[in-house]
Structure 1
Amino acid sequence: MDASATIAMRVTDASSSASSFFSISPNTNSTTKARTFRLHSHKTHIPFLKSLKCIQSPLPDSNPLKPNPRNPGSAFSCSAVTFFPSESQTVELVPSKLQRLIVEFESLSEPIDRVKRLLLYASLLPPFQDSARVDANRVMGCTAQVWLEARIDEDRKMRFAADSDSEITRGFCSCLIWMLDGSTPEEVLKVKTEDLVALNVGLRGGERSRVNTWHNVLIRMQKRTKALIAERDGKVSFEPFPSLVLTADGIQAKGSYAEAQARYLFPDELKVDELVNVLKEKKIGVVAHFYMDPEVQGILTSAQKQWPHIYISDSLVMADTAVKMAKAGCQFITVLGVDFMSENVRAILDQAGYSDVGVYRMSNERIGCSLADAADTPSYMNYLESASKSPPSLHVIYINTKLETKAYAHELVPTITCTSSNVVQTILQAFAQVPELEIYYGPDSYMGANIKELFQQMTKMTDEEIAEIHPEHSRDSIRSLLPRLHHYQEGICMVHHLFGHEVVEKINEMYCDAFLTAHFEVPGEMFSLAMEAKRRGMGVVGSTQNILDFIKQRVQEALDRNVNDHLQFVLGTESGMITSIVAAVRSLLGSAKSSSREAKVNVEIVFPVSSDSITRTSSNLSPSQKSVKVGDIIIPVVPGVASGEGCSIHGGCASCPYMKMNSLSSLLKVCHHLPDDKAILSEYKAERFKLQTPSGKSIADVGCEPILHMRHFQASKNLPEKLVYQILHPNDNGN
């Protein structure tokens, strides 16, 4: 028998249910058939295990990886077990192939030995048919090209085949196929990605991409298993979400919702020229939010090529960009967003010394926001009243709130604003500077719960991993932080609230192997799904800008590999993001095409739209209605405010009705009537706050201070001294 042969075993203490895994290898001095084995503890030492004898017997010919350096044609059975001092302990041999792999890889202390073992397994992978190397079998998210084929055999067992253009990745595939080929569908679906973590310890260079390979191939196996089960059992599978497929040559819309989004990606050039001419003539800058109506965004995106003072971004950057436009000579700023955004632009311009620059909103009616409105309530002020009674306290308020709310809050509790991209670092830094701090976050309840869950997960990380997130924190400090972190319970964004159970279930079923993007404001179930994807390099959780940057980065990586690829992204935020995504992705694809690369990369943006977003109606439709015909039934998309979007309280089709109040006609109307037609413009002008806080200070001045505190934090990575003083001396109203 080969002296290197090992098997895995688990020793269980029946009195405590504690288990430890061991590998056993033969005592080469033994000459009898019943051989004695040396025990190697790979977890914790169990002193009561005294001796163990095992007998070697041939493995069946069906062993998929025969010959195997761990088990070269042999199996083992234990013939004698002796414990000391108690007879209450038992030994259980573990048949799990996963545990055998874990024991094997953990027994290889040197990283180079692990790589060599993977290369050996790569050589044992059965040949893969050239006809199966098609896009439909590609595994997304792997640095190398990976193909996977799956079927159910006549015994209702899963059969897998795989291949890769990377030898190490072939080794991963070989291990996974050895584990799961021939298993029941239930056994395949039972394996979790976290079960594979122990297989990655000690692999140097590209650790993250290698972890991703294990996980992404497994998830692809499970996705194909679910689909084959549904097909075998005759179950009705989910209808796919609508999507836009982007290539260097054009755009393909799949589904009527996607058609509604795509309709304005190529705008009317006459409208573009009309807008550009009036913007240039009157020196008007335009700042717009990512969630704008697709028609407006399409026009603005095209107009940017002729007039540089047009910018589409998240809410934080809008005010900063308005200041830059004022510096460049713009005399007016038009704001396409909700009312608190135009308030912020007005106040920040005043703070920067541009009070003479006019600011105009895009509706003669109030443009509200469900989240901002949630903070503008007695309930929220009561929440802050309780915070003021437990100093030292800090109020971290989401930027997407009214200036008036920020002002009233700051007079109750020292306040700093945050965005979805910097909220975690803001909280961590605050605790680092004031360790006994009580932090009150608001008003978004989902984001608050998600932040707390994120910190809870950090307690399971190593101190080194936590230090990479924030150098002054460890598991102990995070544990200390958790009970001091509070969040408001009654505030939601009506758009992100739509990403509920139905959407999550469908993503799990049909898009578990796609790239998943999610805003920090989504419900917890969607957040957990996106965080799991993020851990294996397949997702992002953060702000709208974080989502856009993630998509651009993954597309660029695919282009750099210069191989045919299809990338699929689930858009877990407001559908208005699509215009900026399309512009950015097509720019990347166009640049690659102009460089004469032969490889083609297709990018699919998937819209999570609830099935309740479509409704049945008669065939008596107006020509303007977008619809699809299913049998004899006409199914149109439920119309939205301007561009045909559908919405459902059950999930998906994220489209903000408030944002859609910013129409192209309003923008042109305001621009054409500037600067003199006060009768028309009075209802569109973003007025300054004339009210005062309870202490008699200007709402604009006090409301801007939390924003300026955040600006300082972004620049220096520290809370400003003034804010720290306010936290430590809450009753000193002079500072």
Structure 2
Amino acid sequence: MEDSVRVDSNRVMGCTAQVWLQARLDHDGKMRFEADSDSEITRGFCSCLVWVLDGAAPEEVMKLKTEELMDLNVGVAGRERSRVNTWHNVLITMQKKTKALTAEREGKPLPFEAFPSLVVTADGVEAKGSYAEAQARYLFPDESKVEELVSVLKEKKIGVVAHFYMDPQVQGILTAAQKQWPHIHISDSLVMADSAVKMAKAGCQFITVLGVDFMSENVRAILDQAGFGDVGVYRMSNERIGCSLADAAATPSYMNYLEEASRSPPSLHVVYINTSLETKAYAHELVPTITCTSSNVVQTILQAFAQVPDINIWYGPDSYMGANIKELLQQMTKMTDEEIAEIHPGHSRETIRLLLPRLHFYQDGTCIVHHIFGHEVVEKINEMYCDAFLTAHFEVPGEMFSLAMEAKRRGMGVVGSTQNILDFIKQRVQEALDRNVNDHLQFVLGTESGMVTAIVAAVRSLLGSGKSSSGRSKVKVEIVFPVSSDSMTRTSPNSSIKMGDIILPIIPGVASGEGCSIHGGCASCPYMKMNSLSSLLKVCHQLPDKKDILMAYEAERFKLQTPNGKSVADVGCEPILHMRQFQAERQLPEKLVYQIYHSYSNGRPVSSS
């Protein structure tokens, strides 16, 4: 291959070595391919594919599957994983180029416009599309606001715990403020309460929580459990900050689901952490319950099946996540025992097959914001981003999840929690820097756009560390937002947003309404937007609240009793504590196992204490 065609536009993404692929249509309408690599072995793999497909009709290229190349006995199942990935990724790139060339020859426009994206380099951030411009707006925050926030946090010893899915403005300010005040933590919901405890131990007298109400409830309860009842916990509004998913678990339908579980001992209820303390308490008195997050739910379920023979597991309330967990386990039945043991040493293909009928999930707990990753988006990703890295949170609809699972199998994707997604992106960027070649990495962000601040900060840190080294290559990282036009709101002529010299005609999120929307993620829903910078500053400046002005902002401390006459706070915290112990010891706590085996007395679980 001539050096003139070894350019970025011909690079194949996802390969350990550098691979270039050029494609064209000849006069007879046949596909012509030329491939090259800086690795001798990889060049050989590419030659095999070129030998098979060079001169083929476009439809023949498009219908070819990796599995059909088994007869070549190279680069496929049973071979070194990186070689398998190279084989698959080159084939996908061939098919993508074939599709584009065919459309061009027939005079057809591309069926989709590109998604908006942010391109991050060592020198800065470039926004492509108005949605991305709106996301980028607060990556470089107002320094005066940062100074104001840091000053009041230091003066009054206030800690801040915030969820990843905050408004971009708030995340930008908090990320910058972290450099001057260590008691600011942005994370998924798993560690928000743990971070609050650490802040209290370090001397913080108040904790402000940026998230929905169940998050502040959990922070309040865990601080009380840790002996920090005198540390104030404050929300960002005097009104309810709701969540459709948490609400789904507080319905009679969900209680009926748990009643069914209680009639099928031995049973364990695995409840998503995104539920209220009251829900956890009432559930735990019906069925022994352990809390989970998207980062530990699979390990929790697999460990329970391994540790308690014949157990029935009832997951809820997120129906998308439940369906995706079941699909993930079904996919595991196609793995080897060795591959399964890497995920969990207590399982094999046979044990996974046997446990599937005993895994149940709630059917009516859809978090409707995740419809943003529905069929239209999946079609567009298949058409235009099939060769990109795909990421998917456990909460996304099945089509998007399946797409990311397929990408994961060839080393081009990740499924899991927000933290898993962030770690995957950081790992791939670091690998590109270690190769020390010019590269363009493209990641489709199959989770809330609120993650972008944390991702851009992490990527810029990695790229910046490489920039100072002499002779370093240039790595571009493109974060793609898979959103439809319905995910954006047009601004009025009188309220357009200005970013430098650019007037933004649209901004992320819905125009109005309450609660979550199918047209935007958590970061842009009206509930999460109640966690504004102005609210945070208002609360901080008012503390300590000697005149009870912030009484309605305080996180609720439950005084209610459960049906068994116990404290909602005490019973609701126990599933969280079970999860914490599981995280530390990698097995279900003895107390929880006791509850599973001895859970029913007059139709109600009994305590081991």
TM range (shorter): over 0.9
**8 Å contact kept, 2:250–2:279:** yes
1:692 to 1:224, Cα distance in 2 relative to 1, 3 A: same
Q: How many equivalent pairs are there?
A: 595
Matched residue type, 1:377: T
Counterpart check, 1:387 vs 2:261: yes
Question: What is residue 215 of structure 1 aligned with on the other side?
Answer: 88
Counterpart check, 1:692 vs 2:561: yes
Shift of 1:211: 1.2
Paired residue for 1:189, among 57, 62, 66? 62
Shift of 1:422: 1.1
Give the SS at the match of 1:568: strand
**Whose helix proportion is higher, 1 or 2?**
2
Shift of 1:707: 0.8
Matched residue type, 2:34: A
Shift of 1:202: 8.5
Paired residue for 1:164, among 22, 37, 53? 37
**8 Å contact kept, 1:242–1:254:** yes
Question: What is residue 710 of structure 1 aligned with on the other side?
Answer: 579
Question: What is residue 320 of structure 1 aligned with on the other side?
Answer: 194
Paired residue for 1:533, among 407, 411, 417? 407
Counterpart check, 1:584 vs 2:458: yes
**8 Å contact kept, 2:369–2:520:** no
**8 Å contact kept, 1:404–1:703:** yes
Identity across matched positions, percent:
84
1:655 to 1:227, Cα distance in 2 relative to 1, 3 A: farther
**8 Å contact kept, 2:32–2:54:** yes
Paired residue for 1:345, among 198, 201, 219? 219
Shift of 1:203: 7.1
Shift of 1:379: 0.4
- TM-score of the aligned structures, taking structure 1 as reference length: 0.78
Using the alignment, how far apart are the partners of 1:356 and 1:142 within structure 2? Answer: 54
Shift of 1:598: 2.6
Using the alignment, how far apart are the partners of 1:641 and 1:322 within structure 2? Answer: 31
Give the SS at the match of 1:159: strand
Matched residue type, 1:149: Q
Using the alignment, how far apart are the partners of 2:16 and 2:607 within structure 1? Answer: 57
Question: What is residue 118 of structure 1 aligned with on the other side?
Answer: none
Counterpart check, 1:729 vs 2:598: yes
Question: What is residue 280 of structure 2 aligned with on the other side?
Answer: 406
Question: What is residue 505 of structure 2 aligned with on the other side?
Answer: 636
Using the alignment, how far apart are the partners of 1:603 and 1:638 within structure 2? Answer: 23
Deviations 1:502-542 (A, max 9, x none): 00000000111001111000010000000000001111000
Shift of 1:138: 0.5
Shift of 1:439: 0.6
**8 Å contact kept, 2:489–2:511:** no
**Deviation larger for 322-331 or 186-195:** 186-195
Question: What is residue 55 of structure 1 aligned with on the other side?
Answer: none
1:731 to 1:363, Cα distance in 2 relative to 1, 3 A: same
Shift of 1:194: 4.1
Question: What is residue 518 of structure 1 aligned with on the other side?
Answer: 392
Give the SS at the match of 1:495: helix
**8 Å contact kept, 1:212–1:537:** yes
Using the alignment, how far apart are the partners of 2:233 and 2:554 within structure 1? Answer: 6
Question: What is residue 100 of structure 1 aligned with on the other side?
Answer: none
Pairing of 1:283-322 with structure 2 (within 5 A): 283-322=157-196
Using the alignment, how far apart are the partners of 2:96 and 2:312 within structure 1? Answer: 44
Pairing of 1:44-123 with structure 2 (within 5 A): none
Question: What is residue 466 of structure 1 aligned with on the other side?
Answer: 340
Give the SS at the match of 1:604: strand
Deviations 1:413-460 (A, max 9, x none): 000111111111111110111120111000010111111111111112
Counterpart check, 1:244 vs 2:118: yes
Shift of 1:626: 6.3
**8 Å contact kept, 1:499–1:651:** no
- TM-score of the aligned structures, taking structure 2 as reference length: 0.94
1:378 to 1:653, Cα distance in 2 relative to 1, 3 A: closer
**8 Å contact kept, 1:615–1:635:** no
Matched residue type, 1:671: C
Question: What is residue 504 of structure 1 aligned with on the other side?
Answer: 378
Give the SS at the match of 2:365: coil
**8 Å contact kept, 1:395–1:441:** yes
Unaligned runs of 5+ in 1: 1-127, 628-633
Deviations 1:649-694 (A, max 9, x none): 4788973332221000000000000003443211111020010100
Using the alignment, how far apart are the partners of 1:393 and 1:444 within structure 2? Answer: 19
Using the alignment, how far apart are the partners of 1:129 and 1:225 within structure 2? Answer: 21
Question: What is residue 453 of structure 1 aligned with on the other side?
Answer: 327
Counterpart check, 1:656 vs 2:525: yes
Paired residue for 1:676, among 533, 545, 557? 545
Which entry has the higher C-alpha Rg, 1 or 2? 1
1:161 to 1:614, Cα distance in 2 relative to 1, 3 A: same
Matched residue type, 1:315: S
Using the alignment, how far apart are the partners of 1:523 and 1:487 within structure 2? Answer: 15
Counterpart check, 1:624 vs 2:493: no
Shift of 1:621: 1.1
Using the alignment, how far apart are the partners of 2:391 and 2:408 within structure 1? Answer: 9
**8 Å contact kept, 1:196–1:214:** no
**8 Å contact kept, 2:319–2:363:** yes
Give the SS at the match of 1:602: strand
Deviations 1:448-493 (A, max 9, x none): 1111111111112222221221111112111110110100000122
**8 Å contact kept, 1:282–1:674:** yes
Question: What is residue 545 of structure 1 aligned with on the other side?
Answer: 419
**8 Å contact kept, 2:368–2:518:** no
Matched residue type, 2:568: I
Counterpart check, 1:438 vs 2:307: no
**8 Å contact kept, 1:573–1:654:** no
Deviations 1:569-609 (A, max 9, x none): 01111101000011100000110012224301010000111
Give the SS at the match of 2:368: coil
C-alpha root-mean-square deviation of aligned residues, in Å?
2.0
Question: What is residue 148 of structure 2 aligned with on the other side?
Answer: 274
Matched residue type, 2:340: I
Give the SS at the match of 1:182: coil
Give the SS at the match of 1:199: coil
Give the SS at the match of 1:315: coil
Paired residue for 1:199, among 61, 74, 96? 74
Give the SS at the match of 1:333: strand
Counterpart check, 1:374 vs 2:243: no
Give the SS at the match of 2:280: helix
Matched residue type, 2:198: K
**8 Å contact kept, 1:337–1:659:** yes
Shift of 1:193: 3.4
Shift of 1:614: 5.0
Question: What is residue 480 of structure 2 aligned with on the other side?
Answer: 606
Give the SS at the match of 1:346: helix
Question: What is residue 179 of structure 1 aligned with on the other side?
Answer: 52
Using the alignment, how far apart are the partners of 1:719 and 1:689 within structure 2? Answer: 27
Shift of 1:148: 0.5
**8 Å contact kept, 2:166–2:523:** no
Paired residue for 2:588, among 706, 712, 719? 719
Using the alignment, how far apart are the partners of 2:522 and 2:8 within structure 1? Answer: 28
Unaligned runs of 5+ in 2: none
Shift of 1:156: 1.2
Give the SS at the match of 1:679: coil
1:648 to 1:710, Cα distance in 2 relative to 1, 3 A: closer
Matched residue type, 2:88: H
Deviations 1:320-349 (A, max 9, x none): 101110111000000001100000000111
| Highest RCO, 1 vs 2 (Cα 8 Å, sep ≥ 6) | 2
Question: What is residue 15 of structure 1 aligned with on the other side?
Answer: none
Matched residue type, 2:119: V
Deviations 1:336-388 (A, max 9, x none): 01100000000111111111110001111111111111111000000000000
**8 Å contact kept, 1:146–1:164:** yes
Using the alignment, how far apart are the partners of 1:638 and 1:251 within structure 2? Answer: 18
Shift of 1:199: 3.3
Using the alignment, how far apart are the partners of 2:401 and 2:523 within structure 1? Answer: 15
Give the SS at the match of 1:517: strand
